[in-house]
Structure 1
Amino acid sequence: MYRVTTVGNYNLVLSNIMQAQRAQIEAGNRVATQRNGSNLKEFSRDAEILTAMRSVDARLSGYLEQNTTIADKLTTQDFSLTQLGDAASAAKKAIEEAIATGRTDTLMQEMQAQFQIGVAAMNAQYNGKYMFAGGKIDTRPVTAEDLSDLTDPATPLISDFFANDDFITEHKVDDATTVKTGILASNLGTAMLEAFKTMQAFHEDPATSFDGTLSDAQRTFLESQLAVWDSVASDVIDTTAHNGMMQARVDDVKADLVTRQNSLKGMIGGIVDADMPTATVELEKATLALNASSQVFITLRDSSLLSVLK
C-alpha cells in the first residue's frame, strides 16, 4: 500500500516547482533570444551538420566579398578601356577631318592630345595599383609621355615604352570557377603606339610635316592610316567586350552565391531559430505550471497537521 506522508508530498511538490522553473527559464530564453540555444552543446543532435553548414556559409561570404572587389575592379577597367577606345576613334576622326578639309594645321596637336589620353588610360590605377601592369602593380606600365618620345633614337622599339611584366591576374570566384581579369598594357597599347609613332615620324620629316595645306603625299599617307586606326580601335573594342564578359560572369556567380547562401541561412535558421508562436505558448504553459505548483505548495503547507493543531 502506498504511504502518504507530509515529507513525501513536499518533496513531490518541490520537484514539480523546480521542473516548472527550468521549463519557464528555457522557454523564456527562447522567446528573448529567438534561438533554440546559445551554443553547440544545446544543439548536440545537429551539432555536426550545423558546424558544416556554418563553415560553408563562411566560405560563401568570403567569395561574395572577393567578388564585390573583382566587380569593382572590372568596372574601373571598363572605364579605362572605353577611354582608350575613344582615344583611338578620336585619332582616326582627326585624320578623316584633315582629309576632308584639306588642312593639317591642328592634326598633330589633336594626335598629341589623344596620345596622352590613351597613355593615361593604360596607366590607370585601382586602389592605388596600376591595373594593366601585370604583377608590377607599383610600376607605371607605359613610360612614354610625349609623341616625340616614340621617335627618340635611344628607344627604337615600341616595347621599350612598356614596363609591365607578363603576369595575368586570376581570381577564383567560387569553388569551381576561375576567371582571368588581368590585362597587360603591352597587349593593349603596342599597336596604338606603333600607329602614333608612324604619324610622328612622318610629321618630323621636313618634306612631309603637317603644318598647313594637305599635299598629295600627305593625303595618300593619311588615307593609308585610316585602316591602321580602324584596326587599333577594333582591337580595343574586342578587349573591352571581353572585359564585359568577365563582368557578366562574375555577376552571375555572385547572384548564384547569394541564392546559395540564402538557402543555407534558411537551413541553419531551421535548426537554430526558435518557432516563436510555439515558444510563446510553451512559456505560458511553463508559467502556468509554475503558478499551479506554487499554489499546491501553499495549500499543502496550510493543510498540514501542525496548522490543524494551531
Structure 2
Amino acid sequence: MSVRTATFANYQTALSDLMRAQQRGQEAQTRVSTQKVATDLKGFGRASETLTALQSTQARLKGFTETSEAVAARLSTQAVAIDRVKDAAQGARQAIADALASGRVDGLMLDLQSAFLAVQDGLNTKHQGRYLFSGGRTEEPSVSVHTMEELAAAPSVAGVFQNDQLRATSRVDETSTLQTGFLASELGQDLFDIFKALQQFNDGADGPFTGALTDAQRDFLEDQLPLFDAARETVIAAGARNGSLQNRVDAILESHKAQDQLLTGLIGDKTDADMAKAITDLQLSQVAIQASAQVLNQLRQVSLLNLLGQG
C-alpha cells in the first residue's frame, strides 16, 4: 500500500505556521517598541479591570496634586503680601517712635504716607491676575483709596474695602477642603483706622505735623503706638495661619507624590513589558518566519505540478 502525500494540505499547514510566526513577531516587535505588554485594555485580559481602577485613582490623584500645587503657590504669594503689610505697620510705628524720641515731626507725614502705600499695595496684591484679598470679587482691587487724604475723606474706613466675605477654599484630597483665603478688611481695618486718625489730626486744629512736637501732638502720637502694636499683631496672626496652611499643603503634596509613585509602580507592573523576554520572543519569531518560509519554498519544489511539468 502506498502513502499519498497531500501537497495542498502540507502547503496550507506551512502557510499557517508562517502567518502565526509573523503574528508573534509583530506582537513582540510592538512590545519592544512601546515597552508595554499591550496597546489597549483588551490586550491586558483579566487584568484590565484592575488596571482601569488604578489609572482612575491616579487621574484623581493628579487632579488633587495640581490643585494643591496651585494652593501652595497662592499661599506663598499671600505670605509675601502679608509680610509687606506687617513690615509697613512696623515702619509706621517706628516713624512715630523716632519722632517722639527726637521731639520733631519733620517728614513724619511723608513716612506715614509711604507706610500707608505699602499697606495698600500689600492688600491689593495679585496672584495670576486676580486680587488675593478681595474674597469672591477677584477682579476688583481690595482697597479703593490710594492716599491717606482719600482715606481721611472717606465716610468710613469699612467703605474703602471692596472685598466681600467669600473666602477662597480648595479641596486638596478626598477628605480635606481647606479655607486658604484672607480678606483685606480683616488684615487692614485696624491699620486704616489709625492712618485715618493720623491724617485727620494732621489736618485738624492741632496739626500739621511740622517742626517741633507740641504737647497735644505728643499725647496723640503716644496713643497711636499701642494701636499700631495691636494692629500689627492681627497681621502677624494672619501670617502665622497662612504659614500653618503652607505646612499642611506641603505635607499633602508630599503624600500625593508618594502615592503617585506607588500607583505608577503598580500600573507599571501590569503594563510594562519584560524587555528581555520581548527581545528573545522577537528573535525566535524571526527564526520561525525564516524556517516556515524555507518549508514553503521546499514544498513548492516537490509539488506534483512540478513533477508533471518535468514529464
What TM-score does the superposition give when structure 2 sets the normalisation length? Answer: 0.91
Partners of 1:26 and 1:150 in 2: CA distance: 76
Partners of 2:263 and 2:275 in 1: CA distance: 20
Partners of 2:244 and 2:213 in 1: CA distance: 43
Partners of 1:301 and 1:127 in 2: CA distance: 75
Alignment of 1:1-310 (within 5 A): 5-7=5-7, 8-152=9-153, 155=155, 157-303=156-302, 310=310
Which 10-residue stretch deviates more, 32-41 or 200-209? 200-209
CA contact (8 A) 1:21 1:290 kept: yes
RMSD in angstroms over aligned alpha carbons? 2.1
Query: Which letter does structure 1 place at the counterpart of 2:116?
Result: F
Query: Which letter does structure 2 place at the counterpart of 1:215?
Result: T
Partners of 2:221 and 2:206 in 1: CA distance: 15
CA contact (8 A) 1:95 1:226 kept: yes
| Alpha-carbon distance, 1:18 to partner | 1.9
| Alpha-carbon distance, 1:228 to partner | 1.3
Which 10-residue stretch deviates more, 215-224 or 40-49? 215-224
Partners of 1:108 and 1:307 in 2: CA distance: 115
| Alpha-carbon distance, 1:97 to partner | 0.7
Identity rate of aligned residues, in percent?
38
Q: Deviations over 1:36-85 (max 9, x none)?
A: 11111212312212222222222122222222222222222111111111
CA contact (8 A) 2:206 2:216 kept: no
Compared with structure 1, are the counterparts of its residues 204 and 299 closer, same or farther at alpha carbon in structure 2 (3 Å cutoff)?
same
Residue 177 of structure 2 aligns to a residue whose secondary structure is: strand
What TM-score does the superposition give when structure 1 sets the normalisation length? Answer: 0.91
CA contact (8 A) 2:104 2:212 kept: yes
Q: Deviations over 1:127-152 (max 9, x none)?
A: 22211111111222212222123333
| Alpha-carbon distance, 1:303 to partner | 4.7
CA contact (8 A) 1:168 1:183 kept: yes
In structure 2, runs of 5+ residues without a counterpart are none
Residue 135 of structure 1 aligns to a residue whose secondary structure is: coil
Q: Deviations over 1:176-213 (max 9, x none)?
A: 11111111111011110111122223222323532111
Compared with structure 1, are the counterparts of its residues 295 and 109 closer, same or farther at alpha carbon in structure 2 (3 Å cutoff)?
same
Residue 172 of structure 2 aligns to a residue whose secondary structure is: strand
| Alpha-carbon distance, 1:284 to partner | 0.8
In structure 1, runs of 5+ residues without a counterpart are none
Partners of 1:144 and 1:60 in 2: CA distance: 43
Residue 174 of structure 1 aligns to a residue whose secondary structure is: coil
Residue 258 of structure 1 aligns to a residue whose secondary structure is: helix
Compared with structure 1, are the counterparts of its residues 4 and 72 closer, same or farther at alpha carbon in structure 2 (3 Å cutoff)?
farther
Q: Deviations over 1:61-117 (max 9, x none)?
A: 222222222222222211111111111010011011101111101111111111111
| Alpha-carbon distance, 1:307 to partner | 6.0
Q: Deviations over 1:10-30 (max 9, x none)?
A: 333222222211111111111
| Alpha-carbon distance, 1:159 to partner | 1.1
Which 10-residue stretch deviates more, 108-117 or 209-218? 209-218
Residue 139 of structure 1 aligns to a residue whose secondary structure is: coil
CA contact (8 A) 1:30 1:37 kept: yes
| Alpha-carbon distance, 1:304 to partner | 5.3
| Alpha-carbon distance, 1:241 to partner | 1.8
